[in-house]
């Protein structure tokens, strides 16, 4: 019988979860299981990249068609908030990489501290996005597509720009929330079971990969949305 | 691991794949490397903002207008370097199975296909081969979607203004402009003053006059919706006789 035993009463015995973990029957060894999980996760990341590719493609085509509309719309975005959010996501990418390093070296305390910082950064990003960007814009009638109600458009196609802006950033923000959820789950399992250590940290590794992807998407969205003219 | 010389039969590994030595243990990044990477990423973030600001400075203060493509090429070059750093070191692709790199390159290739084929389509909307001309019929929905109406806070006066729901002809933005003037009862001059305030421009500066989209590439065959303008299917440059 080879199962992850972390949910049974024996978790109270004090043996860390990562030590009690045994790989599944159908794998030759723990390494093979790790590699298979990771390959599967990279394939999933590929579908995520293709999802965002569609959004970047829409951006490219509409910008080719209406460069002034994009320049005029981008003018309403505040580079300050975009820049702060970029730094927040970069920092969180760093801390998640550090968390994995801590798991590899069985540093349980700093593993948790790094995860907590990462999750805090995720919610900080989301808060800045909603409170300082989405809500003020929406209140001014700067809304996507046909919902656009602002009478001061600088270009007939400005609503198209806002569609691209809201579309790309909201899908990205959704990924930020999902990533925060995954990492919170990792944090819970780390606190409850000491689930991640040198011999087993597959879930943490994959949650980290997801988080880095979210960071990379923003690395491209930030200059495309905030720094054009 | 070295080759097993005993050749004992292992039912879990009958072909001795486990002896091939493919597992060398996981790579552990040093703290120093990770700190170097994050600092480099922060530096490049500052650089890309600076490059954008510097370009604005050159054009607005010195009057040096760089070609349009420089902005996007600089921004994307820096973003690619930043993305590569995250992928190689934070995601560990540098020390990983090359198969993951292949997956990533496949994504890049597919993205290029998305861009390429969408661009081809967009660039040939107005292209009509003469031998097909007789079978062409007009497409599109033929009219804009009615505006659902909306209440917004006027940035220039701080008041709430409601645009009633309704259909319109022409561009949505022009509809909103006329509705706003009708709702607030202001003059055209007052509207332009508020427009300039909302867009942070000075009306006296001719370079900042209200854009009329003349710089946009004229296209044909686009489905009218938000910007309903007269169909331009008879655009000379794409006329069937031109081919």
CATH code at A169? 1.20.120.80
* Whole-number average pLDDT of chain B: 79
pLDDT higher than 80, residue B110: yes
Calpha distance A223→B234 (Å, rounded): 38
Determine, yes or no, domain membership for B194. yes
Query: Token digits for A226?
Result: 């905030």
Determine, yes or no, domain membership for A15. no
* Residue-level pLDDT at B205: 59
ipTM of this predicted structure: 0.91
Calpha distance A100→A106 (Å, rounded): 10
Q: Do B176 and A143 touch (CB under 8 A)?
A: no
- Residue A110 C-alpha from the chain's centroid: 21
Determine, yes or no, domain membership for B154. yes
Residues B50 and B98 in one domain: yes
Query: Token digits for B111?
Result: 């993205």
pLDDT higher than 50, residue B236: no
The total domain count for chain B is 2
* Residue-level pLDDT at B64: 81
Determine, yes or no, domain membership for B82. yes
pLDDT higher than 90, residue B75: yes
C-alpha gyration radius of chain B: 29
Residues B50 and B91 in one domain: yes
Q: Do A72 and B199 touch (CB under 8 A)?
A: yes
For residues A34 and B21, which has the higher predicted lDDT (pLDDT)?
A34
Determine, yes or no, domain membership for A21. no
Residues B182 and B111 in one domain: no
**Which chain A residues touch B216 with a CB distance below 8 Å?**
65-69, 157
Q: Do B13 and A28 touch (CB under 8 A)?
A: yes
Per-residue model confidence as pLDDT tens digits over B45-60: 999 999 999 988 888 7
Tokens 């009958």 found at? B14
Determine, yes or no, domain membership for A197. yes
The H or E element spanning position A128 is: helix A108-128
Return the number of CB contacts < 8 Å for A and B.
221
Distances B230 to A159, B171, B196, B219 between C-alpha atoms, Å: 19, 11, 28, 12
Does pTM top 0.80 for this prediction? yes
DSSP summary character for residue B222: P
Q: Which residue range forms the structural domain that includes residue A68?
A: 57-226
**Which chain A residues touch B200 with a CB distance below 8 Å?**
75
**Which chain A residues touch B180 with a CB distance below 8 Å?**
151
Query: Token digits for A109?
Result: 């305390």
Q: Do B176 and A219 touch (CB under 8 A)?
A: no
Determine, yes or no, domain membership for B241. no
Determine, yes or no, domain membership for A26. no
User: Residues A220, A66: contact at Cβ < 8 Å?
Assistant: no
Determine, yes or no, domain membership for A121. yes
Q: Do A146 and B38 touch (CB under 8 A)?
A: no
Calpha distance B92→B36 (Å, rounded): 15
A52: Cβ contacts below 8 Å, ≥ 6 apart: A168, A171, A172, A217
Residues B106 and B163 in one domain: no
C-alpha gyration radius of chain A: 21
Determine, yes or no, domain membership for B69. yes
Determine, yes or no, domain membership for A99. yes
Q: Which residue range forms the structural domain that includes residue B154?
A: 150-208
Calpha distance B102→B108 (Å, rounded): 10
**Which chain B residues touch A53 with a CB distance below 8 Å?**
107, 110-111, 114
* Residue-level pLDDT at B147: 92
The total domain count for chain A is 1
Determine, yes or no, domain membership for B218. no
B147: three-class secondary structure by DSSP: strand
Determine, yes or no, domain membership for B135. no
Per-residue model confidence as pLDDT tens digits over B139-177: 665 667 889 999 999 988 999 999 999 988 878 899 999
Q: Do B115 and A60 touch (CB under 8 A)?
A: yes
């Amino acid at each position: 019988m080879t199962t992850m035993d972390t949910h049974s009463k024996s978790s109270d015995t004090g043996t860390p979860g990562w030590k009690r973990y045994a790989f599944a029957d159908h794998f030759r060894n723990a390494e093979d299981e790790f590699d298979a999980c990771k390959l599967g996760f990279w394939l999933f990341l590929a579908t995520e990249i293709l999802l965002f590719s569609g959004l970047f493609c829409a951006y490219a085509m509409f910008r080719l068609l209406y460069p002034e509309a994009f320049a005029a719309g981008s003018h309403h975005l505040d580079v300050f908030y975009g820049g702060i959010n970029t730094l927040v996501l970069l920092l969180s990418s760093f801390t998640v990489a550090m968390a994995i390093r801590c798991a590899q070296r069985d540093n349980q305390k700093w593993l948790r501290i790094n995860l907590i910082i990462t999750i805090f950064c995720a919610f900080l990003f989301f808060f800045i996005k909603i409170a300082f960007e989405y809500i003020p814009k929406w209140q001014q009638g700067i809304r996507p597509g046909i919902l656009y109600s602002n009478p001061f458009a600088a270009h007939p196609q400005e609503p198209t720009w806002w569609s691209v802006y809201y579309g790309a950033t909201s899908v990205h923000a959704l990924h930020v929330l999902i990533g925060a959820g995954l990492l919170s789950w990792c944090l819970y399992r780390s606190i409850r079971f000491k689930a991640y250590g040198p011999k087993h940290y597959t879930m943490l590794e994959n949650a980290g990969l997801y988080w880095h992807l979210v960071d990379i998407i923003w690395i491209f969205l930030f200059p495309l949305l905030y720094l054009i003219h | 691991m070295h080759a097993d010389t005993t050749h004992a039969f292992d039912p879990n590994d009958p072909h001795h794949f486990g002896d091939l030595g493919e597992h060398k243990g996981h790579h552990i990044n040093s703290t120093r490397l990770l700190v170097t990477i994050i600092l480099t990423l922060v530096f490049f973030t500052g650089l890309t903002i600076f490059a954008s600001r510097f370009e604005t400075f050159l054009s607005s203060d010195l009057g040096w207008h760089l070609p349009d493509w420089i902005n996007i090429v600089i921004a994307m070059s820096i973003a690619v370097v930043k993305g590569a750093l995250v992928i190689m070191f934070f995601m560990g692709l540098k020390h990983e199975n090359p198969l993951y790199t292949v997956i990533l390159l496949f994504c890049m290739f597919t993205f290029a296909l998305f861009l390429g084929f969408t661009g081809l389509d967009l660039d040939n909307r107005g292209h009509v081969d003469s031998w097909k001309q007789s079978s062409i019929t007009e497409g599109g929905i033929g009219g804009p979607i009615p505006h659902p109406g909306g209440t917004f806070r006027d940035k220039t006066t701080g008041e709430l203004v409601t645009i009633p729901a309704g259909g319109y002809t022409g561009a949505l933005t022009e509809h909103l402009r006329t509705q706003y003037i009708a709702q607030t009862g202001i003059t055209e001059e007052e509207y332009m003053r508020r427009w300039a305030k909302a867009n942070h421009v000075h009306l006296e500066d001719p370079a900042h006059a209200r854009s009329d989209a003349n710089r946009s590439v004229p296209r044909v065959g686009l489905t009218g919706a938000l910007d309903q303008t007269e169909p331009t299917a008879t655009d000379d440059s794409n006329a069937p006789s031109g081919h």
